[in-house]
Amino acid sequence: MDTPTVTQPPTPRVSSDNAAAVPYAVQMGDFVANVRADCLPAQVVQHAKSRLVDCLATAISSRALPVPAVAGAFVADSRGGASIVGRRQCAAAVDASFVNATLINGSTHDDFLAKSHAGAVVVPAALALVEEHGGTGADLLAAIVAGYEVTARAYLGGPGMLPRFRATGVPGAVGAAAAAARALRLDARGATHAIGLGAMFASGFGEGFHSGTMDVKLNVGWASRSGASAALLARAGATASPTIFEGTSGFFHAFSNGVESAPRTVEGLGEKFLIEDTLYKERPVCIFVQTPVELAHRLVRQHGFDPAAIEHVRIHAPIATYTNPGYQNAAPFATALKARISARFTVAAALLGRPIDTYEYYDRTDDADVLALAERVQLVEPSADVHDVLVQVTVGGHCHEARGVEMEYQLPSHEKVVRKFQRLTAELEAGLGERILAAVLAIDQAPDVAELTRLLRLV
């Protein structure tokens, strides 16, 4: 179908000596439209490949989970040119984005950047639109870099959105729109409108983390779908306000109650690529309990005390962690999701030597010993000067302590990501995981993504 001709209002631009007056959406649109894989630093391209490897690993491992099953049923009649992991039938790009996002995020094992599960929203939108509209492997990598960048910057300009709103559903929708715009090769004006529409479609909050319900997982899928829709609408001629972020009725006032941090949205844009700051998860638990769990493991390894003799546990964490929805969850744990984001449950399980590295363990929300110890885990309300995580375990009247910088050990290496991929895809038929990995690692040279998506439909 021919794209309709639409007369668009001019997008404000000013001379370079007054760059601060250029609307933030315009600056990000210019950036997104001009990202090219062959012009990026080599390490940034490598990070994009690693992010793709990690996202596909978690998607493949989530194929049998309930939320992706619901998402798949929702789009069952969709037909188009975009692949869904584990399904033979292709779907419309917006629907493939939705389901693949729930797959990547499904096992709570996906990556994290600037308070968002960036990969889960960015990669599905980028992959679906590159596949459906005929882009190259290099286009896919450029779209991933653009999406991670804008996801992070949309949060950095309005950090006051937390904990009332959920970053993955709010900045994530904007980042997905940026990735989709680059995947469609929109020009700067089109990318600006796509980003603005993504900001308009943004939504999400974290109440479902207290109950362990599906809504917070489906929100991830919807953010990716919204971003893909935003770019397709911009391609068809839709427009959005160029001052969608900083305007008096815009994104930052709505979600963050002000524009005090707004300049960070474009600070260093195009100079430092924020995809390099992405954290990865070694374990399928909330990002905010990864560090306490690691410290608990460290104490057991160092001191060899009898976990059954633990008298009580105290966990000190920064305020952003302490107030994150779900961190303070207590029994009863009605669902596995409610348990896997609870500091009490996950740390108790770690101290008792439970197999917390496996997704399946968290179905055991009735583990009596873990529940009993979780009752003796105290989450200390932090003061403003608390920046590290401290776990204190008292055994026989003696207090053992382990302290660490929150999330520091979760900076990924490419080797760690590959090992995680191999672990999560070990059940695939012989050689299939290795072929998917090889296709990703060579994606920058691929004329299209057809071979990669063909393999993903076979898992």
300 and 273 share one domain: no
* CATH number of the domain that residue 209 is part of: 1.10.4100.10
Vertex 397: Cα angle to 391 and 398 (nearest 5)? 50
245 and 394 share one domain: no
| Angstrom distances, CA of residue 75 to CA of 8, 23, 99, 180, 225 | 32, 37, 8, 20, 12
- For residue 242, being part of any structural domain is answered with yes
Residue 2 has pLDDT above 50, yes or no: no
102 and 195 share one domain: yes
Residue 10 has pLDDT above 60, yes or no: no
84 and 201 share one domain: yes
Q: Give the model's pLDDT for residue 20.
A: 57
- For residue 11, being part of any structural domain is answered with no
Percentage of residues in the chain having pLDDT higher than 90:
89
301 and 445 share one domain: no
Residues with Cβ within 8 Å of 269's Cβ and at least 6 positions away in sequence, in order, are 27, 28, 31, 149, 153
Q: Give the model's pLDDT for residue 6.
A: 37
- For residue 134, being part of any structural domain is answered with yes
What DSSP element (H or E) covers 377? strand 377-380
- For residue 15, being part of any structural domain is answered with no
The predicted-structure confidence for 361-401, as pLDDT tens digits, reads as follows 999 999 999 999 999 999 999 987 788 999 999 998 999 99
Position of tokens 């959105």?
161
187 and 73 share one domain: yes
129 and 103 share one domain: yes
31 and 173 share one domain: yes
Q: Give the model's pLDDT for residue 331.
A: 95
48 and 149 share one domain: yes
Q: What does 72-100 look like in DSSP terms, one character per residue?
A: HHHTTT--SSB--TT-SS-B-HHHHHHHH
- For residue 12, being part of any structural domain is answered with no
In angstroms, the CA 259 to CA 23 distance is 13
188 and 104 share one domain: yes
**Whether 333 contacts 365, CB under 8 Å:** yes
Name which of 409, 25, 71 is nearest 252 in CA terms: 25
**Whether 252 contacts 259, CB under 8 Å:** yes
| 27 vs 7, residue with greater confidence | 27
10 Å CB burial of residue 190 (0-12, 13-18, 19+) is buried
DSSP 8-class letter at 447: S
**Whether 87 contacts 79, CB under 8 Å:** no
DSSP 8-class letter at 113: B
- For residue 410, being part of any structural domain is answered with no
- For residue 224, being part of any structural domain is answered with yes
Q: What 3-state class would DSSP assign to 174? A: helix
Task: Please report which confidence band the pLDDT of residue 7 belongs to, taking 50, 70 and 90 as the band edges.
Answer: very low
Name which of 127, 242, 112, 211 is nearest 171 in CA terms: 112
**Whether 75 contacts 124, CB under 8 Å:** no
What DSSP element (H or E) covers 292? helix 287-303
In angstroms, the CA 448 to CA 453 distance is 10
Position of tokens 């109650």?
257
Pairing, β 377-380 against β 310-316: parallel
The predicted-structure confidence for 414-425, as pLDDT tens digits, reads as follows 999 999 999 999
- For residue 303, being part of any structural domain is answered with yes
Q: How many residues belong to the chain?
A: 459
* CATH number of the domain that residue 348 is part of: 3.30.1330.120
- Taking residues 316-329, report their average pLDDT: 93
In angstroms, the CA 45 to CA 36 distance is 10
Overall number of domains in the chain: 2
Position of tokens 């427009």?
239
363 and 257 share one domain: no
Residues with Cβ within 8 Å of 183's Cβ and at least 6 positions away in sequence, in order, are 125, 126, 127, 128, 129, 130, 133, 135, 139, 140, 143, 231
313 and 257 share one domain: no
The predicted-structure confidence for 247-304, as pLDDT tens digits, reads as follows 999 999 999 999 999 999 999 999 999 999 999 998 999 999 999 999 999 999 999 8
Other CB atoms within a 10 A radius of the CB of residue 273 amount to 22
- Taking residues 70-88, report their average pLDDT: 97
Q: Give the model's pLDDT for residue 313.
A: 97
Residues with Cβ within 8 Å of 147's Cβ and at least 6 positions away in sequence, in order, are 118, 121, 122, 123, 125, 126, 175, 176, 178, 179, 180, 182, 227
Residue span of the structural domain in which 37 resides: 24-282+429-457
Cα 163 off chain centre by: 16
